[in-house]
Amino acid sequence: MQDALAAPLAIDWLLALVLCWLLLGLAGMVAQRNLRYVARTLFPLGAAVGLAIAGVAFAALGEVPETVVLPLGLPDLPFHLRLDSLSALFLVILGGIAAGISIYAAGYLRKGEGTAPGLQCLQYHIFLASMALVLLADDAYAFMVAWELMALSSFFLVTSDHRNPEIRRAGYLYLLIAHIGAIGILLSFGVLQGGNDMAASNGVSDYTFAHMRMMHPDGFWATAAFGLALFGFGAKAGLVPLHVWLPEAHPAAPSPVSAMMSAVMLKTAIYGFLRVSFDLLQTRLWWWGVVVLMLGLFTALFGVIFSAVQTDMKRLLAYSSIENIGLLFVGIGLALTFDGFDMTILAALALTAVLYHCLNHAAFKSLLFLATGAVLHATKERSLGKLGGLIHKMPWVAWLSLLGVLASAGLPPLNGFVSEWLLLQSFLFTPGLPHGYINMLIPVAAAAVALTAAIAGYAMVKFFGIIFLGQPREERLAEAHDAGLLERIAMIWLGGLCVALGIFPVFVIEQLDAVTQLLVGTGLGAAVRSGGWLLLAPVSENRASYEPLVFLLVILAVGAATFMLVRRFWHGRVRITGAWDCGWTLQSARMQDTSEGFGQPLRQVFSPFYRMTREEPGSFDKAPRYSIVVEDHFWYWLYLPVARAADMGTRMVAFLQQGRISVYLLYSFVTLIVLLFLIRG
């Protein structure tokens, strides 16, 4: 603490800023119902704090790790905090995205929607602060406290509209799975700790990460720790089959909260998984990578095919988040496999793809969620079937979400392309793996990733096309209004991030170098720097390269040339008339392709994946109705049986509870006698 006073370290600044967040949250409680004060003053200040955090953390990338011990917590068990490149990178994501979302929330909060604004302000800022602490924690105790704080604060944010039973149900499901996951993480830390008391011998207390780094668990225990971490962090990230909370919680939450959860909170799970598997675990086995790869692949495919058939815009985005989490796990799996075979440069490539995709997904998914929030406020409608043609009424939102949609679909020159390209690049190097079966498996996996990317594009076309293009499907959509100034600023900031991350990949990868250096001991910084500013060639120029700026210029040039040519050669004669009206007069906006119709081909192709209940009208129905409900098999195959078993188990236990004191006393008595008998024998 002495030298901390002498010259404040980056971590001290970060802690001060996190404290600012907490204070802003408390300030919200002073005047809970004063919307002007909470929304126009506190949230913009929170955004400024977010930007500052991103700035400080960015400066700390690649610096020497800094540690600090807080005199908080239990006696003899203080909080250890540490700032290294990995936490700095995720803090940059947190700060940068929080800046955008806070500004948006300042314009988004309305009177009389669920929880009072001041209380929401408190929950929101505690949520942000707890995520920052998760990223800074350097012992299992501080990590778990921050992790649970994050789960709880986000639970209250999800259920801000708690009068709606659907939302309460979604919140409960979220909390339940969050806690089951937390058990996994806790046990994983327990295994990592090693179970023996080494505090005396090496001078570090037992549950610090520094102590865990010193342990070298053997294969079995390392696998146990890894498996538990995969389970725990997978539950938070939404890895199939622990994903069911995600499509329920995201639509239930207010839009800025869904954006925050999808963009940043899911990334904290990725952070935790990277921290455990690459930093804390000193023993790594190559086949873990294959397991993670397969799980990730299945998650990605599952997420994207469900995303394409959703009719609720926020559920569509939630499934798309599952898909992106799947892609991230695919990358982590590849990195683990490469690392297991000591191919560090390729591990660094895969890991760079993962980290880059974390940045990208945070930027574009928050942008899209904020766009749905704007649409929701303008139309009070979440169902795609009742939207349409909004590009005329909400041009800002429409064009900005076009950016997000393109990025999400992975089209160049936006950011989504770069990371997916990097991921596929790392697949292309797998023939070098010294293991026959994996070599056969990997091309299939690569093809599945490509398929995922393609269907993601399809889902995004559906999202944008049905909401913003065509004719309005309902009359009241004519009253829709564009987003307010603050909301626009926020979305421009996030859209700008999407573009910048897409145009300057070399710069970004140079920054990621520090993180991969930390995790696998090497990085791509030198390789990309040699290619210069324009050319991105991750491994060598002869293999593959990508020049985003040139690409953008070509697109612009072609666009401009087409425009000029059309202007030059267009004859200018236009006749506007009712053409041959083959039923034209009877056509209405409801006859446009619906979201159900758009998803139909995929429903057909992937029908075994869905659980569909279709209700089709008969030939002679006076008022024909068509309805289709697409559900998740996992809910029926996994969750309901588990729930039933738990119910039966508790019923059996409840039989013990007779309500008679004599019986309860008898239980203690019998236990006492049996124990006495046992210790005697």
Partner 1 sequence: MNAASPYFGQIINLLAAILLLLSFAMLSQRRILSLIDLFMAQGAVLCASTAVVAYATGQNHLYVSAGITLLLKVMLLPWILHRLIRRLNVKWDVETLINIPTTMLIGIVLVIFAFNLALPISQLAGTITRSTLGIAMAAVLLAFLMMITRSKAVPQVIGFLSMENGLFFAATSATYGMPMVVELGIALDVLVGMVILGVFFFQIREQFDSLDIRHLEQLKDD
**Residues forming the site for partner 1 (CB under 8 A):** 657-662, 665-666, 668-669, 672-673, 676-677, 680
Q: How far is CA 130 from the centre of its chain?
A: 16
The least distance separating partner 1 from the CB of residue 159, rounded to whole angstroms, comes to 25
Max Cα-Cα span within the chain: 106
Three-state SS for 343? Answer: coil
Cβ proximity to partner 1: between 566 and 661 the closer is 661
Cβ proximity to partner 1: between 526 and 676 the closer is 676
383 bridge partner residues: 312
The least distance separating partner 1 from the CB of residue 76, rounded to whole angstroms, comes to 23
Token pair for residue 481? 């209004």
Neighbouring C-alpha atoms within 13 Å toward the C-beta of 388:
18
Cβ proximity to partner 1: between 567 and 660 the closer is 660
The least distance separating partner 1 from the CB of residue 667, rounded to whole angstroms, comes to 10
Measured between alpha carbons, how far is 29 from 122 in angstroms, rounded to an integer?
Answer: 7
Minimal CA–CA distance to 124: which of 46, 178, 233, 32? 46
* Contact between 393 and 482 (Cβ < 8 Å): yes
Mind spelling out the 3-state secondary structure of 214-265?
HCCCCHHHHHHHHHHHHHHHHHHHCCCCCCCHHHHHHHHCCHHHHHHHHHHH
Q: How far is CA 544 from the centre of its chain?
A: 29
The least distance separating partner 1 from the CB of residue 168, rounded to whole angstroms, comes to 21
The least distance separating partner 1 from the CB of residue 646, rounded to whole angstroms, comes to 18
The least distance separating partner 1 from the CB of residue 48, rounded to whole angstroms, comes to 51
Measured between alpha carbons, how far is 440 from 437 in angstroms, rounded to an integer?
Answer: 5
Cβ proximity to partner 1: between 623 and 679 the closer is 679
The least distance separating partner 1 from the CB of residue 652, rounded to whole angstroms, comes to 15
**CA-to-CA separations, 327 to 288, 361, 581, in angstroms, rounded:** 16, 11, 49
Cβ proximity to partner 1: between 29 and 674 the closer is 674
- Give residue for tokens 């649970």: 148
Strands, E assignment, 302-431: none
Is the previous residue joined to 241 through a cis bond, with omega within 30 degrees of 0?
yes
Cβ proximity to partner 1: between 444 and 672 the closer is 672
User: What sign has the CA pseudo-torsion 53, 54, 55, 60?
Assistant: positive
Cβ proximity to partner 1: between 629 and 663 the closer is 663
Three-state SS for 281? Answer: coil
Cβ proximity to partner 1: between 557 and 673 the closer is 673
Cβ proximity to partner 1: between 637 and 664 the closer is 664
Cβ proximity to partner 1: between 4 and 666 the closer is 666
Token pair for residue 303? 């997420």
The least distance separating partner 1 from the CB of residue 657, rounded to whole angstroms, comes to 7
Minimal CA–CA distance to 198: which of 207, 185, 187, 189? 207
The least distance separating partner 1 from the CB of residue 162, rounded to whole angstroms, comes to 24
Q: How far is CA 400 from the centre of its chain?
A: 20
Measured between alpha carbons, how far is 248 from 640 in angstroms, rounded to an integer?
Answer: 16
The least distance separating partner 1 from the CB of residue 489, rounded to whole angstroms, comes to 53
Mind spelling out the 3-state secondary structure of 440-452?
HHHHHHHHHHHHH
DSSP 526: H
Minimal CA–CA distance to 633: which of 659, 607, 661? 607
The least distance separating partner 1 from the CB of residue 678, rounded to whole angstroms, comes to 11
The least distance separating partner 1 from the CB of residue 216, rounded to whole angstroms, comes to 43
Cβ proximity to partner 1: between 577 and 657 the closer is 657
Cβ proximity to partner 1: between 542 and 657 the closer is 657
215 sits in the region (left: phi over 0; alpha: psi -120 to 50; else beta) called beta
The least distance separating partner 1 from the CB of residue 681, rounded to whole angstroms, comes to 10
Q: How far is CA 442 from the centre of its chain?
A: 25
Cβ proximity to partner 1: between 2 and 657 the closer is 657
537 sits in the region (left: phi over 0; alpha: psi -120 to 50; else beta) called beta
